[in-house]
Amino acid sequence: MRITDIRIFPVGQFLYVKIYTDEGLDGLGEASLSGRSLSVVEALNAIKPLLIGQDATRIEFIWQDIFRGTFWRGGPVLQSALAGIDIALWDLAGKKLGVPTYRLLGGAARERVLLYRHVRCDNIRNMVNHAESLVKEGYKVLRMSPFDAFSSDSGSFDVVRGLQGSVEYIAALRETVGLDIQIIFEAHTRLTPPQAIQLCNQISPYLPYYVEDPIRSENPASFAHLRAHTDVAIGTGEQLHDKWTFRELIERELIDFLRVDICHTGGITEGKKIAAMGEVHYQELACHYTASPVSTAAMLHLNLSIPNCAVQEYAPSGKTMGDIVKTSHIENNGYLQASNDPGLGIELNEKAAEIHGPQLPDEPPHWRRPDGSVTDW
């Protein structure tokens, strides 16, 4: 089965990759990189000539050839492009053999994957009402981001007020949902290590499942400092892009949950390797996603196949995306299950994708502190 063509479909904030073969089969992948998708398009255009004529079933070979075949390797742009190719190839492999992709990854280690949903945090009343509705729908893990309430529409974040107000938010959420519901606290990497220590220790009595991205992930020493001063579980990794950037955090056991985003880390192939590294250190995957049905499906098949999956990020697709990407996975009572459809169980409506087109400008918000200096998104 030889690759005959590769097409790129920018749809809203997402970037889809479709691989075509001489057997009439095609595979769908995703290479979204928020704010930098146009750069990924250029990377994909550079990679495309290398893939035409290749055997589409040699997934590991193609991964290694793209990653190691040039002097400059890795980084978020190239790894996102590689992810789009890799996910599409795994989709193709399942279609070629007529089985769901997870069966080619070692089979099902679980029957379904636990999901978490985002809770609105613009104010406490809306947060409580939204949380109650999600719990009634069957969700057992909720993620809160109370810093949103202390960020202005102009892009300013007041970290002092955010730290002070967060306790009130998580206390209200815990009182609302009780002890049977897990709460993830999202900090969006906006804190310094001392601020992160303060946050973790002041919300510890409310039993967070873990604190997500309290600090930037580039410097493992910062996580070592944080680790030494709090007993709250920590999760990070959505800004990391391969097993090497995860390695020190895993091997030194500086975090508890691996926030792998397979659309940034080179796809399913690399995601499974990172999961295996984490298994040795009793760390679990809590996958980040791009909010797209394609990444949702790809993560589902990865998570079904590994022993150390904790939870998967999730939001239902709206009608527009539902018309563009048809999915067959089943969401029920806070869990996601794969269907018996071959591959990843997804199909792209190319005409609808082309009509919708990209969302431009493709640029994330640029946050500022009250004094006007730059802070992290």
Q: Identify whether the C-beta of residue 63 lies closer than 8 Å to the C-beta of residue 86.
A: yes
Going by C-alpha positions, the residue among 284, 283, 287 that lies closest to residue 296 is 287
Buried b vs exposed e over 199-235: b needs ≥16 C-beta within 10 Å? bbeebeebebbbbbbbbbbeebebbebbbeebebbbb
Closest CA to 210 of 237, 182, 184, 238: 184
Contacts of 14 (CB under 8 A, 6+ apart): 30, 32, 37, 290, 292, 294
In the block, tokens 């075949």 appear at: 69
Alpha-carbon gap, residue 226 to 235, rounded angstroms: 12
Residue 71 CB-half CA count within 13 A? 0
The residues that bridge with 212 in the sheet, in sequence order, are: 186, 235
Rounded to a whole number, what is the largest CA-CA distance in the chain?
60
Q: How far is CA 265 from CA 80, 193, 244, 360, in A?
A: 7, 25, 10, 24
Quote the CA–CA distance of 219 and 225 in Å, as a whole number.
11
Give phi and psi for 168, each to the nearest 5. Answer: -65, -40
Task: List 325's β-bridge partners, or say none.
Answer: 348
Instruction: Give the C-alpha separation, 63 to 83, whole Å.
Output: 9
Position 168, amino acid? E
CA distances from 151 to 2, 162, 216, 363, 377 (A): 50, 8, 19, 18, 11
Tokens, residue 99: 């089985």
Where in the sequence numbering do the catalytic residues fall?
A: 188, 288
